[in-house]
Chains A and B, each alone.
Chain A
Amino acid sequence: MNATAKTLFSMSRRDLITLVIFALVVLAMPIWLSPLGAAYPGLMQKFAIYAIFALGFNILFGLTGYLSFGHAAFLGVGSYTAVWSFKLLSMDVIPAIIFAVILSGIFAVAIGYLSLRRTGIYFSILTLAFAQMSYNLAYSVLTPITNGETSLQLSLRDPRVLDLAFGPREPGLPSASLFGHTFSGLEAFYFCAVVLLLAFFIAQKIFSSPFGMMLRAIKSNQTRMNYAGFNTRSYAMTAFVISGMYAGLAGALLAITDPLAGAERMQWTASGEVVLMTILGGVGTLIGPVIGAWLIKYFENIFSAFNDTALTHFFGFVPDGLREVVVAISSKFVGEGWQLTLGLLFVLVVMFLPGGIMEGVRRIRGLFGSGRTPQTGAVSRPQAAE
């Protein structure tokens, strides 16, 4: 028993340092994000949640090379489950998270069982098809459960059997709580941050375990694995389900920080977003997808809110006359044009840093020669499983 616990929690020195630094960066977000204009609870929660989503996606895509184009389906399932848990049972976050993870896991088993019969582009298309099916079900078929385009929300008349068994119905809509303590915005962020750290720790363990080695082997040569007598599909299946559960966890946290679940969370654009996050940050690295997630959410929330007034203020140092020109040009890249900027950045990263931002970090580290040899373990290019 003791020995098991020891192997469970022991980790290499390198991993431990990474975890500690990562924890510091995440917990200190309110400090280092404030000069960037992003230190408000709403966005920091999104940072933590989408980091979990990308981490989980990377366990599948980064390790096995199976490119799922339908991961948003699990995010949506997690959200809907959590909101229903709030509506029917209790505002406590624990049951919401447990149900969301279990149900998205079950979904992942079903979709994975069918999709993993194929590899490469066929697998991607299958997952995309299943995700689109889930989206359409949520959007227009299962509207009694999902409330369609209007989104599922809490209402004043929800049964909430567990909560109401212990206390009277309070006026107004309740918000999510942990053992009776209602979250404020910042507390909800710290809750998400702690869950993120746990998720990161588990991902680290998977990366460094023999199981993770098997997954990497699937990516490098699945045929050889098969001839060597391994049943690769069960490994890929496990990775698929784990990553689906990560997505479900992220979906539950989305519902916890903001009790609303909409069908657009399952749309193919949301599935594509997590692929972008992972590739932008660095496929197959632990930190890369997290950085990718933060970058994309930052662009989506901060760049899209810039308007001409803010730009004029920002370019205050530029002389009059020229300033209007500068503002006119740059306004195309902010506000509603935020996706243009992101697209440009993405093209640049893919062209010059095929391994994502993490490759850039490695190159810089190599330049300054900090004594450590550049990591070659992570594969520097996204590859489909063949």
Chain B
Amino acid sequence: MTKSLKGIKRRTLVKSGLAGILATGVAPLVLTRGTYAQEYCNAPTGDTVTLGFNVPLTGPYADEGADEQRAFELAVEHLNGEGDGGMLPTYTPSVLTGQGVLGKKVAFVTGDTQTKADAARDSARRMIERDGVVMVSGGSSSGVAIAVQGLCQEMGVIFMAALTHSNDTTGKDKKRYGFRHFFNAYQTGVAIGPSLGKAYGNDRVAYHLTSDYTWGWTTEESMIASTEKLGWKTITPVRTPVGAGDFSQYITPVLNSGADVLILNHYGFDMVNSLTQAVQFGLKDKMVNGKQFEIVVPLVSDLMAKGAGPAMKGIYGTSNWDWQLEDAASQAFTKSFGAKYGQPPSQAAHTAYVQTLLYADACERAGTFYPPEVIKQLEGFEFDGLGNGPTLYRAADHQCFKDVLVVQGKETPSNPFDLLDHVDTASRESVTYDPAIFGGELGPDTAAMC
């Protein structure tokens, strides 16, 4: 305050001024170097092409994330011609060679989404801006997947969503640069309805506990639609925060509500905790309205069944895929995954692996990594031999259409991994719907420069 600018020596001022000019002048040159040579975001120039795998390693979906990461690493191995090739031989129509993609060796980077939208976008930006990835994959929370998908659309990098089950991902929040192989909540509702009707009758009252975010909301909506079609009644659903840990305060009111079915729209550790607690509270032993009390978990995975242990017995749910499927592709993938990691793959691992292969194959067919061309190859693509039978990547919303499995927790598991009984299959036709029902717009496919 006492001395003004004049107090500084002229020499000091000139020196620091020069340094400033130099620094600001050089900085943009360093970062924009090379951008003139490329016509789209992160065009691979060397002899490798980098993919980004963005999965939750911490948070309520960490188990699924870790399994996805294993599958991504396996997929990269197979694309580069290492290992036993997994589903590469069974996949049709395939142009994959097992010698990388378009002659380039596949490399990858990983990141932790922490199951948070902010952290996931930070992580994806690091992959895109620093590591130069041409494709981002991952997920394990629809909120995160939708946030990252939006970012990828802006940056002009293709997003191959892995585990995300919300209707919104390919519904109201769909994006031209985002693709989903996994099934969605609507398909769960359609698939599980008949089995629930057969097992529990048409005169039931359902109580919903719902994860409070996009996936929970759309699952709840789809389950209500399909159970009310059966003639069931619904009690006003209760929303629970993601990662709540303790669900006892939500479960205690269930018995006095007059409901005789509890539908847990929870996933990951949330589902493990809420189901275990519901069973511990003796809900399944109660008789309500003259009927046995039942619990339903719309979306089930092996990892969750493992976490819930005996509580899972007899519980109905749906799955995208199961390692015990008999077809050659599923068998090949399970064998390959088991040999490397000593455990069968979960459905999250399966969809992560499949998405990586589908992207690589689309690049091969397009003959370039240029995103608009790759998108054209994926849109409306019909394929088989990846474990789900004949599958279509619908052009209108970038959603895959294939059979959906209805599963039930096994009463007497024969080994620690044999946890789910495959009780029914909903055909691809039955789970196909009109893309217009969810609204949303894909947006343009113009290549961006990141």
Contacts and interface: CB of A to CB of B under 8 A. Distances in A.
Interface of A: 6-7, 10-13, 16-17, 20-21, 23-24, 27-31, 34, 37-43, 46, 139-140, 148-151, 153-154, 156, 171-173, 175, 184-186, 208, 258, 260, 262, 264-265, 300-302, 304-305, 307, 335-336
Nearest to A260: B147
Interface in B112-135: 112, 116-119, 121-123, 125-126, 128-130
Using C-beta atoms within 8 Å of the partner chain, give the interface range for chain B: 35 or more
B26 A301 contact: no
A263 to B, nearest CB: 9
B182 to A, nearest CB: 17
Given A10-B1, A24-B16, A153-B147, A31 B23 contact: yes
Interface in B12-28: 12, 16, 19-20, 23-24, 26-28
Contacts of A307: 109-110
A262 B443 contact: no
A40 B7 CA distance: 38
A34 B212 contact: no
B117 A258 contact: no
Consensus secondary structure, chain A interface: helix
Contacts of A37: 130
B102 interface: no
Nearest to B19: A24
Contacts of A150: 117, 142-143, 146-147, 168, 213-214
B371 interface: no
Contact of A16 (B8, B28, B109, B146): B8
A171 B443 contact: yes
Given A12-B3, A40-B129, A264-B117, A305 B111 contact: yes
Interface of B: 1-5, 7-8, 12, 16, 19-20, 23-24, 26-28, 30-32, 57-58, 109-112, 116-119, 121-123, 125-126, 128-130, 142-143, 146-147, 150-151, 153-154, 168, 173, 212-214, 239, 241-242, 441, 443-444, 446, 449-450
Given A24-B23, A335-B57, A40 B126 contact: yes
Nearest to A173: B154
B28 A186 contact: yes
Given A24-B23, A149-B212, A304-B123, 10 more contacts: A28-B24, A39-B30, A150-B147, A186-B28, A258-B151, A260-B117, A262-B116, A305-B110, A336-B57, A336-B58
Contacts of A34: 30
A13 B3 contact: yes
A265 B168 CA distance: 22
Contact of A301 (B3, B116, B126, B449): B126
Contact of B27 (A21, A30, A153, A156): A30
B24 A27 contact: yes
Given A17-B8, A30-B30, A149-B214, A258 B121 contact: yes
B29 to A, nearest CB: 9
Given A12-B1, A31-B27, A34-B30, A336 B16 contact: no
Nearest to A14: B3
A186 B112 contact: no
Which 6 A-B residue pairs are closest in the complex by CB-CB distance?
Answer: A149-B213, A42-B125, A40-B129, A40-B130, A28-B23, A336-B57
A148 B210 CA distance: 13
B131 to A, nearest CB: 8
A31 B241 contact: no
A185 B168 CA distance: 28
A35 to B, nearest CB: 12
B20 A23 contact: yes
A184 B12 CA distance: 34
30 contacts: A10-B4, A12-B1, A12-B3, A13-B7, A16-B8, A17-B12, A20-B20, A24-B23, A27-B20, A28-B23, A29-B27, A30-B27, A30-B31, A31-B23, A42-B125, A42-B126, A42-B130, A139-B241, A140-B212, A150-B214, A151-B147, A156-B441, A172-B153, A260-B147, A262-B118, A305-B109, A305-B126, A307-B109, A336-B57, A336-B112
B368 to A, nearest CB: 21
Contacts of B121: 258, 260
A29 B30 CA distance: 11
Contacts of B241: 139-140, 149
A20 B146 CA distance: 42
Nearest to B448: A172
| Residue from A39, A184, A262 having most chain B Cβ neighbours under 10 A | A262
Given A23-B20, A175-B154, A260-B147, A335 B30 contact: no
Contacts of B125: 40-43, 258
A261 to B, nearest CB: 9
A295 B147 CA distance: 26
B273 to A, nearest CB: 17
B209 to A, nearest CB: 14
A272 B239 CA distance: 27
A335 B128 CA distance: 18
A256 to B, nearest CB: 13
Contacts of B154: 173, 175
Contact of A27 (B27, B212, B214): B27
Contacts of B12: 17
Contacts of B242: 149
Contacts of A264: 116-118
A149 B143 contact: yes
A21 B8 CA distance: 14
Contacts of B150: 153-154, 173, 260
A151 B117 contact: yes
